[in-house]
Amino acid sequence: MAVSNSAQSMAFPRAALASGERLLDQLRELIESEEIVGVVVGRPLALSGRSTASTANADELFRRLRETFAPLPVIQWDERLTTHEAQRALSEAGIRAKSQREHVDSAAAVILLQNYMDGLIGE
Domain residues of the chain, as ranges? 2-121
Q: Assess contact for 108 and 79: CB atoms under 8 A.
A: yes
DSSP E strands in 44-119: the ranges are 74-78
pLDDT for 122 equals 60
13 phi and psi, to 5 degrees? -75, 150
pLDDT for 24 equals 94
Please give the C-alpha separations between residue 115 and each of 29, 81, 95, 120, in angstroms, as whole numbers. 25, 11, 23, 9
> What pTM was estimated for this model as a whole?
0.86
Spell out the per-residue pLDDT of the chain, length 123, in tens. 999 998 889 999 998 888 888 999 999 999 999 999 999 999 999 889 899 999 999 999 999 999 999 999 999 999 998 988 999 999 999 888 888 887 888 999 999 999 999 988 765
CATH top-level class of 2-121: alpha beta
